[in-house]
């Protein structure tokens, strides 16, 4: 009995010591994360500025349903999500499969080259893409010289082409990032499985569909959730590439929240309400992806 009491006392002391070490981190998380979130939630039910702010209930949330710019921003985010994310993930998966082949030479060089855009500064790569797709930029010059175009296209001045440029920029930047995750997953798959499938007459296409994708399903789910969250919070490309134009045709929700907070007449209550809508969308889509993608 005494030994049991001593062991229980020892475990309690260890737990207490553990909580003492964790306490500074817990306090920082509560002070820097949870408290601002609660304050922001309270702020989302108010309108006005400074001391003139007053409680208006769900007015800010109702206002969003009538705000054409917010609806346009919401549509743009989902447009980028539906078009860009599947293309990017599929391309990353194909590249990872190709570069996981033991017979491919200079794999390290190719992996580094594909991952390198991810290490590029957001502002730098936005400037590069603006220069490439300018009226007198490289893309228009090459298309005219080849004979595909007679006159240059105003890529960033047209709504549809500006969205296309943003999608291309996102694919260029983030494909290598997702490829690294898939490469890590592929290196945990025994190469003998592919050799056995090849002996049985399975083509590379069948190996990709019947072996690679099923065994990488948890990693595909992870990258899909991260890419969805990132696209719904898209900010830099809208700001640096098109500045939301032309006429808010490419603006994103995060960009509109920024404008509503710091460029237009400040309306922090409305901006905070929009931020919580983004949070809810991210949480709901992540939950749906977890439920449909992870059968466990």
pLDDT, tens digit, 9 for 90 and up, residues 106-117: 888 999 999 999
What 8-state DSSP symbol labels residue 209?
I
What count of residues does the chain have?
A: 296
Neighbours of 58 (CB within 10 A): 10
Q: What is the domain class of 59-293 according to CATH?
A: mainly alpha
C-alpha span between 246 and 243 (Å, rounded):
8
The per-residue pLDDT for range 76-85, each reduced to its tens digit, is 999 999 999 9
More reliable by pLDDT, 170 or 295: 170
Q: Where are the alpha helices (DSSP H) in the chain?
A: 2-29, 35-43, 59-66, 68-99, 107-115, 122-132, 138-146, 159-186, 191-199, 204-207, 213-215, 217-232, 236-237, 253-258, 268-293
Domain range summary for the chain, segments of one domain joined by +: 2-43, 59-293
- Residue 192: pLDDT over 90: no
The per-residue pLDDT for range 11-23, each reduced to its tens digit, is 788 888 888 899 9
**Residue 3: pLDDT band by 50, 70, 90 thresholds?**
low
Locate 145 and state its tokens: 């010289």
Return all residues near 109 (Cβ < 8 A) that are at least 6 apart.
none
Residue with tokens 């447009």: 79
**Residue 2: pLDDT band by 50, 70, 90 thresholds?**
low
Q: Name the percent of the chain lying above pLDDT 90.
A: 55
Query: What is the value of pTM for the model shown?
Result: 0.87
C-alpha span between 43 and 73 (Å, rounded):
22
Q: What pLDDT, on a 0 to 100 scale, did the predictor assign at position 206?
A: 86
Q: What pLDDT, on a 0 to 100 scale, did the predictor assign at position 200?
A: 83
């Amino acid at each position: 009995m005494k030994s049991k009491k001593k062991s229980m006392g020892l475990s309690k002391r260890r737990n207490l010591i553990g909580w003492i070490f964790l306490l500074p981190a817990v306090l920082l998380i509560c002070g820097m994360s949870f408290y601002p979130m609660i304050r922001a939630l309270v702020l989302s039910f108010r309108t006005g500025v400074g001391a003139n702010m007053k409680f208006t209930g769900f007015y800010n949330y109702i206002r969003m349903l009538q705000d054409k710019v917010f609806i346009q921003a919401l549509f743009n985010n989902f447009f980028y999500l539906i078009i860009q994310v599947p293309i990017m993930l599929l391309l990353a998966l194909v590249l990872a499969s190709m570069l996981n082949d033991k017979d491919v030479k200079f794999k390290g060089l190719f992996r580094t080259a594909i991952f390198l855009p991810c290490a590029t500064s957001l502002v730098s790569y936005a400037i590069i893409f603006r220069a490439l797709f300018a009226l007198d930029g490289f893309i228009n010059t090459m298309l005219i010289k080849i004979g595909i175009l007679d006159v240059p296209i105003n890529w960033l001045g047209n709504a549809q082409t500006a969205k296309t440029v943003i999608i291309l920029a996102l694919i260029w930047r983030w494909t290598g990032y997702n490829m690294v995750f898939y490469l890590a997953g592929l290196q945990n798959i025994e190469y003998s499985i592919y050799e056995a499938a090849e002996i049985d007459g399975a083509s590379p296409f069948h190996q990709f569909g019947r072996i690679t994708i099923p065994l990488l399903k948890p990693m595909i789910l992870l990258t899909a959730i991260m890419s969805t969250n990132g696209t719904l919070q898209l900010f830099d490309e809208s700001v640096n590439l098109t500045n939301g134009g032309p006429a808010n045709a490419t603006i994103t929700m995060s960009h509109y929240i920024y404008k509503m907070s710091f460029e237009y007449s400040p309306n922090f209550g409305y901006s905070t309400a929009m931020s919580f809508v983004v949070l809810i969308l991210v949480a709901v889509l992540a939950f749906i992806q977890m439920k449909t993608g992870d059968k466990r």
